Amino acid sequence: MAETGAAMTAGAEWRRAPILPIAAGLGYATSVIHIYGLGPYIEPISQSVGWSRTQTTIGLTLATLVQALFSVPIGLMVDRLGPRLFGLVGVVLTCGAFAMLGTATGDKTQWLMLWSLLALATLPVQATVWTSAVATRFAASRGLAFAVTLCGASLAAALFPLLGSWLIARHGWQAAAPIQAAIWVAIAFPMIFLFFRGAHDRRAKVALAERPALEGATLGEGVRSSIYHRLLLASLLFTFTIIALVVHFVPILTDRGAERMEAAGIAALVGIFSVIGRLATGLLLDRFRGSMVGAVVFLLPAIGCLLLLMGGDSWGAQAAAAAMVGLTLGAEVDVIVYLTTQHFGLKTFGGLYGGLLMALSVGTATGPLGASALYDATGGYGPFLWLTIALMVASSLTLASLPRPAYANGKPQS
């Protein structure tokens, strides 16, 4: 019988599936192309069609609320069918739907229809798909494997604002969207096709009865747990602020006098530092108590917001703020996913993480819209930055309150 992931060393796990986390990372980057890629489009779309920033970003709210609604059903389907088919189909659908944003005419109904299409297209590429495959193939090095996978969002945060700004400057926003989508699907799809397989995707070779037995809590046991409730709260508070901060980072900087390309360059630091944050967090999670690691790194954006509030018109303060945001952006989902496996095991990981993804999606949906509404109401981003500080502190304290985990390396802990 083949050696199980729980019995293997970290090195053996990486020798068995060295490219899987990278392929999953490209898929995860695809799942956020409409989130991290939207920032450069906000101002030109608003100016072109005469909308407020709230009207321009409301489509993102719609898309992420739809994702929240279907997070648990998709997670349960991934538990049963495996993630490969979802990933392959979803990458093509998501890039195609993002490309169609360039057909917007300024009609508000059409704009909502385009985002509705994008909402449905992104369902097969939600984070559950990519993390599920990695969780079933890595145990001893699960923290680092998750970190490599979730670096896909770091890549997205670094590349998509810069690529979008560059394409918009040369081709206009309507042509930029399909070009950006075509470039990305040409990069991501081949890697996912060749290397993305979880333990449950071996059904052509292994009978259903021979698939690996996964230990852990049932869905009902998980959702009734106060630990799960705290993870839900931390996820909601964190994503409400951090995603809004990332989506609005370019406008925040231009609002403080930076030129558009200069702001995009500084915003790219968010992605660069998020790579560092993800890899460092992954290593720390494999060595230290995950809740304490998360509690510390969740405080970093508060420092970044203070820098923007106190010295936001200087390049140094803006770059340092981008670094602080990036380091935590490189940790948020890593921490939540890792803590889910540590406290509840893998038996119903897809369903339980689907519920947490619902909270992450609600925060993602409402955060950028809330920041837009505060900007429209006050004429600046100051109130939003102060709110971010308060919610980051609350999220950190929530994680710090978690007890020691019930599972580690795929095994129940006594």
What is the pLDDT, as a whole number, of residue 413?
Answer: 59
Compute the mean pLDDT over every residue in the chain, rounded to the nearest whole number: 85
**Given pLDDT bands bounded at 50, 70 and 90, which one contains residue 207?**
very low
Q: What is the pLDDT of residue 376?
A: 86
Report in angstroms the alpha-carbon separations of 7 from 11, 39, 370, 371, 409: 12, 44, 46, 47, 9
Task: Tell me if 413 is assigned to some domain.
Answer: no
How confident is the model over 400-405, as a mean pLDDT?
Answer: 89
Residue 154 has pLDDT above 60, yes or no: yes
For 214-252, what is each residue's pLDDT tens digit?
677 888 888 899 999 999 999 899 888 888 888 888 888
- In angstroms, the CA 20 to CA 98 distance is 25
Helix, strand or coil, per DSSP, at residue 413: coil
d(CA 56, CA 38): 10
CATH number, domain of 129, equals: 1.20.1250.20
In a domain, 8, yes or no: no
3 in any annotated domain: no
Residue-wise pLDDT tens digits, 254-295: 887 777 788 888 888 887 887 888 788 888 888 888 899 989
Confidence label for 91 from pLDDT (cuts 50, 70 and 90): very high
Higher pLDDT, residue 408 or 332 = 332
Amino acid 208: pLDDT: 41
Residue 348 included in any domain:
yes
On whether residue 267 sits in a domain, the answer given is yes
Q: What is the pLDDT of residue 1?
A: 32
List the alpha helices (DSSP H) in 122-141.
127-137
pLDDT band at 79, cuts 50/70/90? Answer: confident
Range 174-179 contact pairs with CB under 8 angstroms and sequence separation of 24 or more: 174/102, 174/103, 174/104, 175/102, 176/41, 176/102, 177/41, 177/98, 177/99, 177/100, 177/101, 177/102, 178/99, 178/100, 178/102
Residue 123 domain-assigned?
A: yes
At 168, the pLDDT band (50, 70, 90 cuts) reads very high
Q: Using 50, 70 and 90 to split pLDDT, how confident is the model at 205?
A: very low
| Ramachandran class of 213: left when φ > 0, alpha when ψ lies in -120 to 50, beta otherwise | beta
pLDDT tens string 381-393: 889 999 999 999 9
Q: Does the structure show a pLDDT above 70 at 28?
A: yes
Mean pLDDT value across residues 138-167: 85
Distance CA(311)–CA(139), nearest Å, equals: 44
Residue 143 belongs to what domain range? 18-404
Asked if the model's pLDDT at residue 407 lies above 80, the reply is no
Q: Tell me, what's the pLDDT at 368?
A: 84
One-letter amino acid identity for 408? A
Q: Is the pLDDT of residue 347 over 90?
A: no
Inside any domain, residue 412: no
The answer to whether position 106 is within a domain reads: yes
Mode of pairing for the β-strands spanning 407-408 and 411-412: antiparallel
Domain count, the chain: 1
Q: What is the mean pLDDT of residues 208-212?
A: 47
- Give the whole-angstrom CA distance, residue 321 versus residue 353: 30
Six-digit token string for 201: 């995707």
